[in-house]
Amino acid sequence: MKKLLSPDPAKIEPLPHEPTHDRAPDSVAEGTPQWLKKDMIGLLGEEQVLYKALDLIRYATDASPYRMIPKVVVTPTSEEQVLAIFKYSREKQIPVTIRASGSSLSGQAQGDGILLDARKHWAGATVEAAGKQLRVRPGTIMFRANLALRPYGYRLGPDPASGSVASIGGVVANNSSGMCCGTAQNSYKTISSLSFMLPSGTRINTADPDAEAQFQRAEPALCEGLKEIKAEIEADAALSARIVKKFSIKNTTGYHMGAFLDGKTPLEIFRRLMVGSEGTLGFISEVVFDTVPDDLHRLTAFLIFPDMYSACAAVAPFIKAGAMAVELSDRASLHAVEGKPGVPDRWEAFDENATGLLVEFRVATKELLAVAEQAANDILLTLPLLEPGSFTKDPKLAAQFWTVRNGLLPSVGGTRPSGTSLILEDVCFPPERLAEGAVDLQLLIARHGYKGYVFGHASAGNLHFLVTPSFNSAEELQRFDAFLRDVIELVVGKYDGSLKAEHGTGRNIAPFVEHEWGPKLTGLMWKLKRLADPDGILGPGVLLSADPASHLQHLHTIPTVENEVDRCIECGYCEPVCPSRNLSTTPRQRIALRREMLRQPQGSPVTAALLQEYEYSAIETCAGDGSCEIACPLDINTGVLMKEFRSMEHTRKAEQIALKLAKNWGTVEKVMRGALSLNAATQTILSGLPAKGLTALARTVVSEDLMPAWIPNIPHPAKTKLPATSKEGAAAVYFTACVNRIFGASRGEKQEMTLAEAMVTLSDRAGLPVWIPEDLGGNCCATVWHSKGYVEGNTYMANQVVESMWRWSDGGRLPVVCDASSCTFGITSEILHYLTPENLDKHQKMTLLDSIAWAHDHLLPRLEIKQKTGATVIHAVCSTQHLNLAGKLLTIAQKVSETAYNPIHSTCCAFAGDRGFLHPELTHDATQEVVAEIKDKHFDQYISSNRTCEIGMNLATGQDYKSVIFLLEEATR
């Protein structure tokens, strides 16, 4: 049955355009073949099988320039399910590719058979030995693993720049390193033990006392083969010496054959081989790392040299003096970040040879820092710098330096021509020949007509280079092929360096492993692969390839899409913070799906299938919270596009209704409070049955995206009457948000005061009284309309609230304080584009403060903490991240509590105003990790700063989340 106000997906169908050669075939519109779908569901259960066209295409993309459409995507929940998939794969001869976060830059996370998701059900970390070890599962995001270790003063050795998105499984599988770890602290050197499963069904935990015997019994042929390879390598003195030499610098080309020299027994060898095997030998289900000290005393400088040679000459002295990081940026890289925050204008005047070095010392004590400072300053005196250099201990200035260094990827990605790809590759030169190699690489890039950028970890001789090719024609493919082959000849032929230093081999270098290692050792790698995976089911073509042109297959185009998201480089940084990551789609996937629609011809069955599925999976279940913008290196807010799509789907009648509601918002508030009263009565008398039935009927008839669902924890209505206040002598205008004028205390919770009463009492106590305007009702931050894409209602309310605040504040004389963080963000940021020029001018002259800022900056210094609560957990809503207030919220909690806990997995709860009422399943899925994290811990208080988010967290955890203002008021009585 067609619903009365259901959206029309046809309205967002792309305009006529040219299809591309790499579009998904029409058969993908049907999703997974029925026989395979049936088999997988029978094997794993329907919830663990993704089979729609939308699923196959959204998983076809990772952070690399490659794209392969799987036949089915599976999300196993246990080792038993993984082994069942392996068995099925062997029997049916369907390859399996293992994918975790999909942040691979070289195509390791893609396949055209069964794609096994090792992220969704595979997260979790346990700190052991007082922080000296970490037991961690493959789906755990790197930065969360380090957050778990931080209180103990330790961190993981590998430190990839992609740590905010990369999962442990990918870090281990690629033997990723980073800026500080070199070859001494990577996964290969710091893993104590791991648990793995082979395609044969063998399961081993290398920490088990009898693990070696288990391995020998289960895999006699593999064990014997490993011994044979070890003997062959050790019998060849020249080959052994070459392996030692090449692994003395960063190298992830092929398998880590140094394992045959470093390990004595078959299991010792194989444990090491699993590191860097890129999912082609087995599945890693758990890893135990030996951690490294997280030295917090730091000394940082960004130095500018006249040329590459003088910059590289300074690397060795700094390393000898103990520098942990020495990062190089060529002139093109410095150009790319000009105009960015923290980049001096004077850099624009440097000539084309200028080169930057970011140098950082990290030590454990202030005494060692003084020693490092003296050594660093002595070196500075010897350097031919273009401007005076100095080292700083200021963490804010150091963070600025790192922002400059890390800003290269977004700067280039954001300015590349539309329709081009962004390729970030990495090689390693012998450190003593770094300058020569870097200059040769610059010349090579220019010779092939690319605008390139060379930068990297100078301390290790590890250079990255960025180019932006287009893959829209055969000529462009040939050009890229010629360029890549010249790079290979330069790195291996001239310098005997590493074709891949830390990104794993991947599809782009798999055909060239033999070029670096020679036929004998490459032949032994193939033998290893056949021993561990005799049926060849795991990741074919990912690490080794017999096809000399396989690196040119599956390269994908980048169709031009809407301006809001066209700059996306599909890196995936947005995914760990996206509320819908476990339910439907992520920002990267929403964009990848849109690009596929632009690859398809008009009338394509694939586009038709995608549009039907896109409505719920992309548009309706986007919380629109903007967390993706904070995580995105290009500051892309995919929620803006989803709101635009919502707007495009509205009928004229729907827009008119929305505008009418805005004009009568005061009445709407009363109606909603009445509905809450009725709901409370039905809860008491009939357990909510009438409310359940009525909401279900309304959603069936009208729209599931406009009519709220019934949820069990709908709060009581707020008090109609607000506290009496006076404008005379007021220090601020108090704008109590409509969500706090509508929703009161949680059901079953006793609350002595309303939030408005607590705010007024607290401000009076601090000697900064606030005034609540008498005509506050009917004014709103406009987020209700903005989030749903109702332009006219949004425009009306945005201008009304600014005009009201201008009048209340006496033309900006008094600051305006808002008691709901999402409303504060809406008023300070989201309404700006909808204001008239006159109201925009008024807006800029007013001071608008969130209750957190008011409490932290103005009230707290004037108040005395008289009684602290016990343990407090905070939920910093997404708006506090946008407003840079999360730290202040935590500080208040720490001041008024014995202990304050900020969960590692805390992200947007996805309640998003009313989205949690419309799609409760979104909040349920968005909060799964944080619920698991805090469920077994005891807390006396649960605090936040936004009423609807508090309702969402109440729904998720069963605990009474409330504003931090209540806690501060209680503590200062």
Q: State the average pLDDT for the chain.
A: 93
Within 10 A of 862 (CB to CB), how many other CB atoms are there?
12
- Check residue 680 and give its pLDDT: 65
- When pLDDT is averaged across residues 505-515 and rounded to a whole number, the result is 97
Q: Is residue 961 part of a domain?
A: yes
Per-residue confidence (pLDDT) for residue 322, from 0 to 100: 95
Distance CA(438)–CA(312), nearest Å, equals: 9
- Please report where in the chains the tokens 């967390």 appear, as a residue: 627
Q: Give the pLDDT band (50/70/90) at residue 693.
A: very low
What is the model's pLDDT at position 728? 96
How many Å separate Cα 254 from the centre of its chain?
A: 28
**Does residue 314 fall inside a structural domain?**
yes
**pLDDT value for 686:** 41
- pLDDT at 702 > cutoff 60: no
Q: What is the dihedral of CA 315, 321, 324, 328, to 10 degrees?
A: -20
Residue written as token pair 């250079």: 463
206-220, pLDDT tens digit by residue?
A: 999 999 999 999 999
Tokens 């992520």 correspond to 586
Query: For 359-397, how does the pLDDT look when each residue is reduced to its tens digit (9 = 90+)?
Result: 999 999 999 999 999 999 999 999 999 999 999 999 999
Tell whether 355 and 476 lie within a shared domain. yes
Predicted confidence at residue 366, as pLDDT, reads 95
653-658: long-range contacts (C-beta < 8 A, 24 or more apart)? 654/5, 654/790, 655/790, 655/791, 655/792, 655/793, 656/792, 658/785, 658/788, 658/790, 658/792, 658/793
- For residue 710, pLDDT beyond 70: no
For the segment 444-448, the average pLDDT, to the nearest whole number, is: 96
Domain-located, residue 840: no
* List of E strands, 271-378: 283-290, 292-293, 297-305, 325-329, 355-363
The residue-averaged pLDDT of 668-684 equals 73
pLDDT at 701: 43
Q: What is the DSSP pairing of strand 848-850 with strand 462-467?
A: unpaired
Q: How many CB atoms lie within 10 A of CB 708?
A: 18
- Is residue 289 within 8 Å of 134, Cβ to Cβ? yes
Task: Kindly list the distances between the CA atom of residue 393 and the CA atoms of 297, 326, 364, 383, 666, in Å, as whole numbers in the listed order.
Answer: 8, 16, 14, 21, 54
Number of separate domains in the chain:
3
Single residue among 606, 632, 649 that ends a domain in this structure = 649
Confidence of residue 415 (pLDDT cuts 50, 70, 90): confident
Domain membership flag for residue 187? no
Sheet of strand 297-305: strand arrangement:
297-305, 355-363, 325-329, 453-457, 462-467, 423-428
Q: Report the alpha-carbon distance of residue 471 to residue 185 in Å, rounded.
A: 37
Q: What is the 3-state secondary structure (H, E, C) of 590-650?
A: HHHHHHHHHHCCCCCHHHHHHHHHHHHHHHHCCCCCCHHHHHCCCCCCHHHHHHHHHHHHC
Q: What is the CATH number of the domain that holds 600?
A: 1.10.1060
Instruction: State the pLDDT at residue 410.
Output: 77
Same-domain check for residues 574 and 467: no
pLDDT recorded at residue 682: 61
DSSP state of 318: H
Out of 621, 649, 677, pick the residue that ends a domain: 649
| pLDDT tier for residue 833 given thresholds of 50, 70 and 90 | very high
Q: How far apart are CA 875 and CA 860, in angstroms?
A: 20
* 97 close to 109: Cβ distance less than 8 angstroms: yes
Residue 283 has what pLDDT?
98
- Do 324 and 422 lie in a common domain? yes
Q: Which helix (H) or strand (E) element contains residue 211?
A: helix 211-218
In a domain, 165, yes or no: no
> Please, which residues have CB within 8 angstroms of residue 65's CB and are 6 or more apart in sequence?
107, 421, 423, 471, 508, 555, 556
pLDDT above 80 (res 343): yes
**Residue 723, in any domain of the structure:** no
Q: pTM for this structure?
A: 0.94
Q: Which two tokens stand for residue 459?
A: 């301390």
Instruction: Tell me the C-alpha distance between 289 and 194, whole Å.
Output: 9
pLDDT score recorded for residue 683: 55
pLDDT value at position 711?
A: 61
Residue 294 corresponds to which tokens in the numbers above?
A: 């997280």
Integer angstrom CA distances of residue 771 from 723, 727, 744, 849? 9, 5, 20, 14
- Do 575 and 431 fall within a single domain? no
**Average pLDDT, integer, range 108-129:** 96
Res. 698: pLDDT tops 90 = no
Bridge partners, 818 (sequence order): 735, 850
Over residues 826-854, mean pLDDT: 97
* Dist CA 624 CA 826 (whole Å): 12
- Residue linked to tokens 């074919």: 540
The pLDDT of residue 645: 94
Residue length of the chain: 973
Residue numbers of the domain that contains 915: 866-971
Which residues does 960 contact at the CB level (< 8 Å), separation at least 6? 746, 749, 942, 954
Residues 579 and 465 in one domain: no
Statement to judge: residues 578 and 471 lie in one domain: no
pLDDT of residue 681: 65
Are 342 and 458 in the same domain? yes
Q: Is pLDDT of 325 > 90?
A: yes
pLDDT over 80 (residue 705): no
d(CA 55, CA 817): 44
Least confident of 7-16, 46-55, 787-796: 7-16
Q: Are 321 and 389 in a shared domain?
A: yes
The position carrying tokens 């932290």 is 856
Looking at the structure, tell me whether residues 878 and 952 fall in a common domain: yes
| CB contact at 8 A, 99 and 112 | no
Mean pLDDT to the nearest integer, 239-263: 97
DSSP helix/strand/coil, 377:
helix
In whole angstroms, what is the distance from residue 387 CA to residue 301 CA?
A: 12
In one-letter notation, the amino acid at residue 715 is P
Answer whether residue 703 shows pLDDT above 50. Answer: no
Provide the pLDDT for residue 679: 67
DSSP conformational letter for 743: B
Angle at the Cα of 680 from the Cα atoms of 679 and 682, rounded to 5 degrees: 65
**Rounded distance, CA 681 to CA 688, Å?**
8
List, in sequence order, every residue forming a beta bridge with 606; answer none if it has no partner. none
Scan for tokens 């800022």, then name that residue.
Answer: 853
Return the pLDDT at 9: 79
Q: Cβ(165)–Cβ(96) under 8 Å? A: no
Residues 360 and 427 in one domain: yes
Give the range with max mean pLDDT: 179-183, 591-595, 747-751.
591-595
In this prediction, residue 687 has a pLDDT band, given cuts at 50, 70 and 90, of: very low
Tell me, what's the pLDDT at 280? 98
What share of the chain in percent tops pLDDT 90? 83
Name 96's bridge partners.
114, 538
Query: Stretch 269-281: mean pLDDT, rounded?
Result: 98
Rounded to an integer, what distance in angstroms lies between the CA atom of residue 333 and that of residue 229?
Answer: 44
What CATH number should be reported for the domain holding residue 387?
3.40.462.40
Q: Does 801 reside within a domain? A: no
In a domain, 93, yes or no: no
Pairing relation of β-strands 125-128 and 732-735?
Answer: unpaired
Residue 902 belongs to domain with CATH number = 3.40.50
Residue 126: what pLDDT? 97
Tens-digit pLDDT profile for residues 735-787: 999 999 988 888 777 777 999 999 999 999 999 999 999 999 999 999 988 98
pLDDT recorded at residue 653: 85
Residue whose C-alpha is closest to residue 721's, from 745, 752, 757: 757
Within this chain, do residues 302 and 439 fall inside the same structural domain, yes or no?
Answer: yes
3-class DSSP string for 82-149: HHHHHHHHHHHCCCEEEECCCCCCCCCCCCCCEEEECCCCCCCEEEEHHHCEEEECCCCEHHHHHHHH
Environment class of 864 (CB within 10 Å of its CB; exposed 0-12, middle 13-18, buried 19+): exposed
Is the model's pLDDT at 706 over the cut of 70?
Answer: no
Question: Which pLDDT value is given to residue 712?
Answer: 65
Span between the terminal Cα atoms of the chain, in Å: 58
In whole angstroms, give the CA distance from residue 209 to residue 607. Answer: 55
Q: Average pLDDT for residues 536-548, to the nearest whole number?
A: 97
299 — phi, psi (to 5°)?
-135, 125
Tell me the C-alpha distance between 193 and 206, whole Å: 6
Q: Do 490 and 579 have their domain in common?
A: no
Yes or no: say if 358 and 300 are a contact pair by the CB < 8 Å rule.
Answer: yes
* Under 8 Å between Cβ of 742 and 673: yes
Q: Are 817 and 732 in contact (CB under 8 A)?
A: yes
Residue 515: pLDDT band (50, 70, 90) is: very high
The domain boundary, picked from 649, 677, 693, lies at: 649
